[in-house]
């Protein structure tokens, strides 16, 4: 099946390249998301049956001072992509984020829960969601959280790097979510795209994150335990680690709709750590 992926070197795109090497992957030099019309033209000429947007502006803190460009890339570009995919009859899968919620409460967010982003990045991603829905056609918006892998920049790699020079690390303990291996997310994205081709009536908004939900601090502890690092973790509050952008305190996602509709269960992030550590060892 003809698959077009926006993104080439990111975490999810790298994993998609493993499981779908026959797909066409386009990077910034070929399709700059800051030029939505160019992205739409590429789709129009592609003949794709599935279009996956695995590219985004992800600099959460910098977005506070660059909201216009973040919204262009995360909002206008996927909106144009979705409309172009609809015109050629392709299924469109767009990766979104828990940042569209305000992070209140302690219960998992259902896919149809009211949104209320508290950061420029969250607002930019919500603009993309709204545009994809408005475009119509066969589409899936797949929200996820805390993606990690052996590639790119992510929490696991940061913790392991810091463990090399620190005996103790202070890590936020009052933000809770589901760390999600990029490999599992990539498989989910591809499977949803395939099902949408056959059943466009399944279009909608879905959640996919790994289980169980955990704090950043406890996630770090598990990373160090599985990596055999002696580094210890000291719990701190979000208020003790100020950043330009506010982060959701509650990033728990209710993924039951995704399981019911597409048959995709939440993976175990602890197993994901094991696989990624082995991959990183092999890369040394």
Cβ-Cβ contacts under 8 Å for 190 (sequence gap 6 or more): 3, 16, 19, 20, 50, 52
Q: What is the 3-state secondary structure (H, E, C) of the chain?
A: CCEEEECCCCHHHHHHHHHCCCCEEECCCCCCCCCHHHHHHHHHHHCCCEEEECCCCCCCCHHHCCHHHHHHHHHHHHHHHHHHHHHCCCEEEEEEEHHHCCCCCCCCECCCCCCCCCCHHHHHHHHHHHHHHHHCCCEEEEEECCEECCCCCCHHHHHHHHHCCCCEEEEECCCEECCEEHHHHHHHHHHHHHHHHHCHHHCEEEECCCECCEEHHHHHHHHHHHHCCCCEEEEECHHHCCCCCCCCCEECECCHHHHHHHCCCCCEHHHHHHHHHHHHHHHC
Token pair for 252: 């728990």
Active site residues: 121
């Amino acid at each position: 099946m003809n698959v077009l992926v926006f993104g080439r070197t990111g975490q999810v795109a790298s994993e998609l390249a493993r499981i779908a090497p026959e797909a066409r992957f386009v990077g910034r030099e070929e399709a700059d998301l800051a030029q939505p019309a160019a992205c739409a033209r590429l789709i129009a000429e592609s003949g794709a049956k599935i279009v996956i947007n695995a590219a985004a502006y992800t600099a959460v803190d910098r977005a506070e001072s660059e909201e216009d460009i973040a919204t262009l890339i995360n909002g206008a570009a996927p909106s144009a992509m979705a409309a172009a995919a609809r015109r050629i009859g392709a299924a469109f899968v767009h990766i979104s984020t828990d940042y569209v919620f305000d992070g209140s409460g302690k219960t998992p967010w259902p896919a149809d829960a009211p949104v209320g982003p508290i950061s420029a990045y969250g607002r930019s991603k919500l603009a993309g969601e709204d545009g994809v829905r408005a475009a119509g056609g066969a589409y899936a918006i797949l929200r996820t959280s805390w993606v990690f892998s052996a590639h790119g920049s992510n929490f696991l790699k940061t913790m392991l790097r810091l463990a090399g020079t620190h005996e103790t690390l202070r890590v936020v303990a009052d933000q809770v979510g589901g760390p999600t291996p990029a490999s599992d997310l990539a498989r989910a994205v591809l499977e949803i795209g395939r099902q949408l081709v056959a059943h466009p009536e399944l279009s909608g908004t879905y959640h996919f994150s790994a289980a169980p939900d955990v704090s950043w601090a406890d996630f770090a502890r598990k990373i160090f335990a599985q990596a055999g690092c002696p580094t210890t973790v000291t719990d701190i509050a979000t208020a003790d680690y100020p950043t330009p952008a506010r982060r959701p305190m509650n990033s728990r996602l209710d993924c039951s709709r995704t399981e019911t509709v597409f048959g995709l269960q939440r993976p175990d992030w602890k197993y994901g750590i094991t696989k990624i550590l082995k991959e990183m060892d092999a890369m040394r």
